[in-house]
Structure 1
């Protein structure tokens, strides 16, 4: 079983059904990713990022491989090593390290809000690389969205702000990754794209770990990483399925479910509450994103 592209030849009822399934996948994906981020942020206070990714990766790859076997996808394992799939995974790996470096120093909600500027980056990249037309209204929405990001980042000359900019750069990398997802052949099972992603990120972490060194871990740490691996595996598969199964303009707004979870978890676990300017920026960012998606659906 693999997610498929929503195609124009679908009837309205079939397209609506595919979009509903895609929305559910996106909600699952965002919930899973925030769960993973919360676990990793907590552990990042005492463990190196590469070590966490390596340990979590072993568990995630094992779980994904079993699922791929159960789904009957392993005979096509060569699909996981094809050009677009590997390139996509490489961008995922770079984005992961940049995002985690920022996440360890930022409130969870702030990092998540910055990361949710991805649809704005995608619109600009699609114009540059896919030659998609961006009208005046969408340009205004893009500018408003980036203004919202600046209100969350709140530029100032200190280290905290540097990590916010690093998070924004990670988001740009993730936007490239999302564009590359569209290049993956429709016949390639999503579970194999997931397996390729987890494997490439793990290999990159192994290389980095050689420089960072290994720190002792408690069984509690191992347990939290095991839970994180389940969240990560579910998130990887779900976001790929959502992107490939339904119209991107329909499912993309449901990325903001992740921000709600991040706000709740950030407050409960770390006592983080965004200031008034950040709240205004979050509202502006979400509004711009929703407007962009609405305009896309009209085209």
Structure 2
């Protein structure tokens, strides 16, 4: 999730600096961008389905995480490397770049472990609280304080997470805490992404995105690696790499065609894919608590998005 979000922020900046195309052309580009975004989240849901199948089949989630980001690093390196982009490795805040990359790796690992025990719909619904956490932490960490109305919306969103998790009623699986930890880890990742935008170029940040996690795991791989017992596991590991790469590629193409505020609501269509794949592959149907909680979290996220859009429109100078 984290790599997708960072790409969205990067591409949003590019989109806003372009000369606006003719109305009909802009409309067509937005429709294509929305379709690409829906395709991207479908691939990300498929990635989660592969990871869940592998985890239930006994493959270490850390191995799956390594495969996910090794493929991303390989893909990014084809376009962003010291040869094609001289000086790309020079960072003014190398320590923050390393921490950011490790946070992203940890976020994905937490998600993959949680998927072993929870329904896909449960994990993605809780993860949708990440933007709420970012908005809450942006005040003390970035000086971007939220209004009372936004704080109220954030509070309502967190209540939605409690509806999904339902602590203290005897039905909460401990793995739900991994999802909550994932939300917090991802929020700090997103905050560092925004802080680094003031110090390093987009290319430098993208270059380091998955590098530290892969570099950390590479020496440990012989200790945790076990050859998959079934041929299907190799295919699923390939699927993790393939779906992650294709989803990332479609995401970049989507943000090259439409503004991020137009595309953002369609991120929530990943929930539909997660429910569908969870039922078809694992026979899982979300409980009514998961559905109600997800609606609360998504509604709060859409409210914050609408407020941000209105605020940007208000600041935009009249033509």
* Same-fold status (TM-score > 0.5): yes
Distance 1:56 1:220, change over 3 A: farther
Q: Is the 8 A contact 1:126 1:179 kept in 2?
A: yes
Distance 1:131 1:55, change over 3 A: closer
Give the TM-score of the pair, scaled to structure 2.
0.77
1:157-236 pair list within 5 angstroms: 161-182=173-194, 183-184=196-197, 187-189=201-203, 193-194=205-206, 196-209=208-221, 211-236=223-248
Instruction: Work out the CA distance in 1 between the residues paired with 2:153 and 2:22.
Output: 31
Q: Is the 8 A contact 1:105 1:160 kept in 2?
A: no
Instruction: Work out the CA distance in 2 between the residues paired with 1:165 and 1:273.
Output: 20
> What's 2:85 paired with?
76
Distance 1:141 1:248, change over 3 A: farther
Instruction: Name the SS for the 1:5 alignment partner.
Output: helix
> What's 1:40 paired with?
51
Unaligned runs of 5+ in 1: none
> What's 1:289 paired with?
301
Mean CA deviation greater in 260-269 or 132-141: 132-141
Distance 1:144 1:201, change over 3 A: same
Instruction: Work out the CA distance in 2 between the residues paired with 1:51 and 1:255.
Output: 27
Unaligned runs of 5+ in 2: 1-9, 312-319
The structural deviation recorded for 1:216 is 3.8
Instruction: Name the SS for the 1:161 alignment partner.
Output: coil
Instruction: Name the SS for the 1:125 alignment partner.
Output: helix
Mean CA deviation greater in 272-281 or 173-182: 173-182
Is residue 2:156 matched to residue 1:144?
yes
Instruction: Work out the CA distance in 2 between the residues paired with 1:270 and 1:63.
Output: 31
Instruction: Name the SS for the 2:84 alignment partner.
Output: helix
Is residue 2:278 matched to residue 1:266?
yes
The structural deviation recorded for 1:274 is 1.4
Distance 1:171 1:284, change over 3 A: same
Instruction: Name the SS for the 2:179 alignment partner.
Output: helix
Distance 1:276 1:142, change over 3 A: same
Between the two proteins, the alignment pairs up a number of residues equal to: 293
Q: Is the 8 A contact 1:154 1:161 kept in 2?
A: no
Instruction: Work out the CA distance in 2 between the residues paired with 1:245 and 1:179.
Output: 25
RMSD (CA atoms): 3.5
Give the TM-score of the pair, scaled to structure 1.
0.81
Instruction: Work out the CA distance in 2 between the residues paired with 1:256 and 1:150.
Output: 19
